[in-house]
């Protein structure tokens, strides 16, 4: 026998926490699952913001680790890598959301936002989880530190993109008009990321191909 | 005499050369550190602030020697020649050394063969102890020969203002994200309550129909 006997505004929070667990929501996202079936757009955007905040913190941690051979570099990386991630996302989001609308998407903007932030979070999680390995090689090998750091960066990009796309694919609203907004988001974010990496250089102790931005890479 | 000079030269451990671009000239201010009397070769026109000149050699009776030099823009010509590790920094411009010098680019600038990362770290740590910032881009050389360093002076498009703008942008994104998150709190709570009520209503109806 279940009846709606009391409506304490705090009660639903607890009920929801038992359903999914607010802290596990983000890990659900990384696993390609939408945490709640009947999640409203405000809840989704809040969850996306939490994912974005976590991604910024993890990117900062990774930045400090890969710059740990030089104090100045480590301190700079603490804000440079989060800056690259946050600002490139901010640059790409308007174009992606506009593309979604232009493709006829009436609803689902919050899903697109969430999927983007979840992709960032997944990428940052990969970076942070591999940072001990990168730090180990940076401090004990003269040759392998930088290649390993770039390899983890590429892997993070791959996982982030895959995670975002998987989430979008599982959203009814986004699946219908998936290809174009995803491509627009990806291309704009990657272009912005390359240029922000150029602005933020140096990030690694060694010179890399990314230091001179897209212009330098094409030369 | 030569033996004495040779012995004194061997005492030079570190030298810092700070160049400032002023119009078409680079003004050098060089400081040599050693355990005791230090010397370096100088040329006519160089100003020796601490120490004295004798036969083209500036020497100080102590662990510190200071020399100033002025040159026209071109290859870098700080007063090199003394043994030890030399650190060259430039204000107002950046220097890209000629590839023929075999210098390796690092996060802290350029490093010549023979200068290890440990050498650089020790040098910069020592500088910081003397109140000199060691975070700027620098060229590190070991036992350099006394001639100019070929390369190119370049004006970077990335200024500290650009980086400051990027940092402020990040701060703004984080702050606005936080504010937006707080503003969504009420709406999100309403969504939770509505979802909960819908669940409860469905459960009640199912219960009344005898399904549950």
Select from A32, A68, A168, A71 the least CA-distant residue to A111: A168
pLDDT on residue B101: 86
Interface contact B195, partner A, CB < 8 A: yes
Q: Please give, rounded to a whole number of angstroms, the shortest distance from the CA of B103 to a CA of chain A.
A: 12
- Read off the pLDDT of each residue in A42-60 and give the average, rounded to a whole number: 92
Residue B125 at interface with chain A, using a CB cutoff of 8 Å: no
Specify the pLDDT at position A207. 63
pLDDT score at A12: 43
Exposure string over A87-111, b if 16+ CB within 10 A, otherwise e: bbbbbbbebbbebbeeeebeebbbb
pLDDT at A104 over 90: no
Task: Spell out a b/e string for B139-178, using b for 16 or more CB atoms within 10 Å of the CB, else e.
Answer: bbbeebeeeebebebeeeeeeeeebeebbeebeebbeebe
ipTM of the complex: 0.75
pLDDT digits (tens, 9 = 90+) for A65-98: 988 877 778 888 999 999 999 999 999 999 998 9
Residue B25 phi, psi dihedral angles, 5° rounding: -125, 155
Cβ(B81)–Cβ(B50) below 8 Å: no
Say if CB B14 and CB B87 are below 8 A apart: yes
Contact A72 B135 (CB under 8 A): yes
What's the confidence (pLDDT) of residue B2? 40
Provide long-range contacts, Cβ within 8 A and 24+ apart, for B143-147. Answer: B143/B83, B143/B84, B143/B114, B144/B80, B144/B81, B144/B86, B144/B112, B145/B80, B145/B81, B146/B41, B146/B79, B146/B80, B146/B81, B147/B80
- Judge whether residue B7 has pLDDT over 50: no
Size of chain A, expressed as the number of residues it contains: 219
Q: Which residue has the higher pLDDT, B212 or A185?
A: A185
Contact B174 A86 (CB under 8 A): yes
Angstrom distance (rounded) from CA A192 to CA A84: 8
Residue pair B63/B25 in contact (Cβ under 8 Å)? The answer is no
Q: Is the pLDDT of residue B134 over 70?
A: no
Smallest Cβ–Cβ distance between B191 and the set A1, A40, A82 belongs to A40
**For residues B156-177, average pLDDT:** 84
Higher pLDDT, B128 or B88: B88
User: Is any Cβ of chain B less than 8 angstroms from the Cβ of A200?
Assistant: yes
Which band of pLDDT confidence, cut at 50, 70 and 90, is reported for residue B8?
Answer: very low
A30: phi then psi, degrees, rounded to nearest 5? -60, -35
Res. B130: pLDDT tops 70: no
pLDDT at B133 exceeding the cut of 80:
no
For chain A, say whether B177 makes contact (Cβ under 8 Å). Answer: yes
Among B105, B107, B181, the residue with its CB nearest the CB of A70 is B107
Reading the block at residue B142, the tokens are: 């070991």
Residue B146 has pLDDT above 80, yes or no: no
* Beta-strand relationship, B64-72 and B47-50: antiparallel
pLDDT at A103: 83
pTM of the predicted model as reported, rounded to 2 decimal places: 0.65
pLDDT (tens digit, 9 = 90+) per residue, B84-125? 889 998 877 778 888 888 888 776 678 888 888 778 777 777
Q: Which residue has the higher pLDDT, B165 or A171?
A: B165
Reduced to 3 states, what is the DSSP secondary structure of residue A205? coil
Residue A26: predicted pLDDT: 79
Q: Which of A19-23, B41-45, B111-115 has the lowest mean pLDDT?
A: A19-23
What is the per-residue pLDDT for B152?
A: 83
Q: How confident is the model at residue A3 (pLDDT cuts 50, 70, 90)?
A: very low
A35 C-beta neighbours (distance < 10 Å), count: 21
Pairing of strands B64-72, B85-91: unpaired
Residue percentage of chain B with pLDDT more than 90: 11
CA distance A166 to chain B (A): 25
Confidence of residue B5 (pLDDT cuts 50, 70, 90): very low
**DSSP assignment, residue B149?**
B
Element (DSSP H or E) covering residue B95 = strand B94-97
Partner residue opposite B197 with nearest CB, options A4, A83, A207: A4
Residue B137 dihedral angles phi and psi, to the nearest 5° = -65, 130
Instruction: Look at residue A91 in the predicted model and tell me its pLDDT.
Output: 95
Please indicate whether, in this complex, the C-beta atoms of A87 and B166 are within 8 angstroms of each other: yes
pLDDT in tens, B79-90: 888 888 899 988
Helix axes B160-208, A41-66, angle to 10 degrees: 140
A:176-195 residues touching chain B, CB 8 A cutoff: none
Phi and psi, residue A167, nearest 5°: -65, -45
Over B182-205, what HEC string results?
Answer: HHHHHHHHHHHHHHHHHHHHHHHH
Question: What proportion of chain A, given as a percentage, has pLDDT over 90?
Answer: 34
Average pLDDT value for chain B: 80
In the sheet with B47-50, reading across from the earlier edge strand, the strands are: B47-50, B64-72, B25-34, B12-22, B85-91, B138-142, B109-111, B104-106
pLDDT tens, residue by residue, A119-160: 999 999 999 999 999 989 888 876 787 788 889 999 999 999
- Please give the pLDDT value at position A28: 79
How many whole angstroms separate alpha carbon B95 and alpha carbon B75?
9
Question: Would you give the end-to-end CA distance of chain A in angstroms?
Answer: 73
Instruction: Select the more confidently predicted residue: B104 or A174.
Output: B104
In this model, does residue A42 exceed pLDDT 80?
A: yes
Higher pLDDT, B37 or A143: B37
Q: What mean pLDDT do residues B154-183 have?
A: 84
């Amino acid at each position: 026998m279940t009846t709606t006997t009391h409506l304490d505004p705090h009660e639903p929070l607890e009920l929801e926490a038992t359903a999914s667990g607010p802290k596990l929501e983000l890990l659900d996202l990384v696993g390609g699952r939408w945490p709640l079936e009947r999640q409203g757009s405000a809840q989704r955007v809040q969850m996306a913001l939490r994912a974005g905040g976590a991604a910024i913190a993890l990117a900062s941690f990774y930045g400090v680790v890969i710059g740990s051979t030089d104090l100045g570099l480590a301190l700079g990386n603490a804000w440079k890598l989060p800056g690259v991630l946050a600002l490139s996302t901010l640059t790409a989001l308007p174009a992606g959301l506009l593309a979604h609308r232009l493709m006829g998407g009436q609803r689902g903007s919050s899903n697109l936002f969430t999927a983007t932030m979840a992709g960032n979070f997944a990428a940052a999680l990969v970076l942070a989880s591999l940072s001990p390995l990168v730090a180990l090689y940076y401090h004990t090998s003269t040759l392998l530190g930088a290649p390993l750091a770039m390899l983890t960066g590429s892997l993070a990009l791959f996982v982030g993109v895959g995670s975002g796309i998987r989430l979008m694919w599982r959203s009814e609203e986004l699946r219908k008009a998936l290809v174009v907004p995803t491509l627009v988001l990806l291309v704009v974010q990657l272009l912005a990321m390359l240029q922000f990496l150029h602005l933020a250089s140096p990030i690694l102790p060694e010179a890399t191909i990314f230091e001179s931005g897209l212009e330098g890479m094409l030369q | 005499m030569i033996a004495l000079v040779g012995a004194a030269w061997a005492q030079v451990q570190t030298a810092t050369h700070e160049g400032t671009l002023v119009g078409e000239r680079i003004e050098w201010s060089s400081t040599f550190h050693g355990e005791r009397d230090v010397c370096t070769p100088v040329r006519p026109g160089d100003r020796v602030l601490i120490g004295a000149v004798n036969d083209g050699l500036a020497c100080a009776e102590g662990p510190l020697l200071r020399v100033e030099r002025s040159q026209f823009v071109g290859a870098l010509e700080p007063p090199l020649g003394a043994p030890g590790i030399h650190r060259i920094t430039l204000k107002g411009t950046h220097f890209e050394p000629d590839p023929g010098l075999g210098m390796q680019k690092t996060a802290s600038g350029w490093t010549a063969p023979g200068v290890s990362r440990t050498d650089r770290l020790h040098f910069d740590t020592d500088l910081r102890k003397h109140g000199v910032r060691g975070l700027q881009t620098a060229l590190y050389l070991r036992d350099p020969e006394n001639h100019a360093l070929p390369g190119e002076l370049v004006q970077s498009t990335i200024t500290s203002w650009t980086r400051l703008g990027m940092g402020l942008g990040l701060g703004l994104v984080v702050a606005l994200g936080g504010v937006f998150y707080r503003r969504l709190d009420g709406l999100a709570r309403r969504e939770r309550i509505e979802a909960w009520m819908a669940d409860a209503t469905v459960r009640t109806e199912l219960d009344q129909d005898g399904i549950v």
